[in-house]
Structure 1
Amino acid sequence: MAGVNALLDTEDDEDTNNLRYFDIPYAANYDKQSLSVILNSPLLLIEEAIKPLVHLIDDITTKVYIIKQQLTADDTSDLTLDEFGAIHLYISEGSPRTKCIYFLLNEAIRRGFSKELQLWHPYLNLLLTALGKLPSIGHHCTVYRGVRSCDLSDEYKD
């Protein structure tokens, strides 16, 4: 399984492994010490982790309630319901896209580890912990998250 250390390790040869778990190590204002603080904080229930985000995302409390109602322990494998819910919430689409959690979190990360990003710490800790528990998909593969009608290639130059 990919652990928390895999998320922090930026010395892997990307040409060999060609894996990208998260955009944090590639963000312009990436701060490994701040990320370590997030990952070493106590995990909260998802309902608690999203409280600082209520003013940013419409109906986030309702979305979390619905996600947890639709899940059973069998759905989550090695993840807790809260961890699975954090992933589900991150990948959920909505309209407008600028109010989706993945969009807002990624924007906050790109701006750097500021006071704004501190609001995300509890949720980000839960999300990264969940991603770290996912089984490895092996080496020599690339994982993408597709975004329709959006060319971000200029933001991620090699």
Structure 2
Amino acid sequence: MNRFIDGEFSKKALPPICDYQSEKLVSLEEALKFIVPLIEQLDRSIHAAKKLCHFPSEDNLTHDESAALYLYTMEGGENSFYRVLNRALLCGDQSSLKLWFPYLKLLHTALDKLPTVSRNIWRGVVGDIGHELKKNEELTWWNISSCSLSIDVIKDYLSTTDRSTLFLIEAVHGKDISRYTNYPGEDEILLGPGIQLRVVDNVTDLPGGLNIIHLAEVANYHDKLLQPSITPIHTMSVSTDKDNHHKETRHCTALTIFAPLTSSISKRSSTESHRRRESTL
């Protein structure tokens, strides 16, 4: 699993996370001293992040701020740092979350110094959640969300799953961390915890088991809709009579960019299914 498609999708209401902003800025080692016993080899990861992070910084990040971003993007399997942090953000246990406040303060300070991105970005999630969201519904993502400016980055990870959901997000307050990640070629944009989103459109049951959900970030005081860089999603119903007894409704999309995506996912799924059948013979 990868941070671009990892994470629990939840619509549950949680209290705002803001108390960490009053924390004093400390070093990365100090910020995570209570977390080190909870994550295997975290001390080594911290050391690696301090050594390999992008520093000096063109954005005036301190060494520890840059390392905090780098550490977040490091992949380490089930106990990846970002995965453990996001589980804490989603659990709703404020007492446990307090252990993360010094790191969240360091991360927040780093993100504040980076360029803000107001563009269409992409994210995915494993599983079929298209039917859980309705048009114009508003939701809050409490976890930190890794997104990409490139649909190809997300496509590469989603193509390994049987059922998946792709998010097209009109971001208002995204942060470009591409210089500061462990994988600089992924055009990574980070969305902070507590971001509010509105469902613009929802296209489900596409070929290859793909669902597409178009979201727009809700600004603090008003909805700021961006001019999309690609044709927006439009759906239409096409009804055809069958034996004069019933009508079959098919959903179509005018977003032709998804055609190669659904095709590649469908082919990948077919190939993997064929291999599984062969292995059982």
Instruction: Report the TM-score, using the length of structure 1 for normalisation.
Output: 0.66
Name the residue aligned to 2:24: 42
Deviations along 1:26-48, whole A, 9 cap, x unmatched? 8734322xx32201211111010
Name the residue aligned to 1:134: 114
Deviation at 1:157, TM superposition (A): 9.5
- Which one has more relative contact order, counting CA pairs under 8 Å at least 6 apart? 1
Identity rate, percent: 29
- Could you tell me whether the CA contact under 8 Å between 1:27 and 1:109 is conserved in 2? no
Name the residue aligned to 1:70: 52
Deviations along 1:65-121, whole A, 9 cap, x unmatched? 222123463246321111111111111001xx2211110111111111422111111
Name the residue aligned to 1:5: none
Counterpart check, 1:28 vs 2:8: no
Name the residue aligned to 1:100: 80
Cα pair distance change 1:47/1:76, threshold 3 Å:
farther
Q: Which consecutive segments of 4 or more residues in structure 1 shift more than 4 A?
A: 146-153
Aligned residues: 127
CA-atom RMSD in angstroms: 2.9
Name the residue aligned to 2:105: 125
Structure number having the greater strand percentage: 2
Name the residue aligned to 1:87: 69
- SS at structure 1 position matched to 2:90: helix
Q: Where does structure 1 lack aligned partners over 5 or more consecutive residues?
A: 1-22
Cα pair distance change 1:63/1:140, threshold 3 Å:
closer
Counterpart check, 1:51 vs 2:57: no
Cα pair distance change 1:132/1:43, threshold 3 Å:
same
Determine the C-alpha separation between the residues in 2 that align with 1:91 and 1:27.
25
Cα pair distance change 1:105/1:68, threshold 3 Å:
same
Q: Where does structure 2 lack aligned partners over 5 or more consecutive residues?
A: 1-6, 124-145, 147-153, 167-196, 200-281
Query: Counterpart of 1:93 in structure 2: which amino acid?
Result: E
Determine the C-alpha separation between the residues in 2 that align with 1:157 and 1:107.
23
Query: Counterpart of 1:111 in structure 2: which amino acid?
Result: C
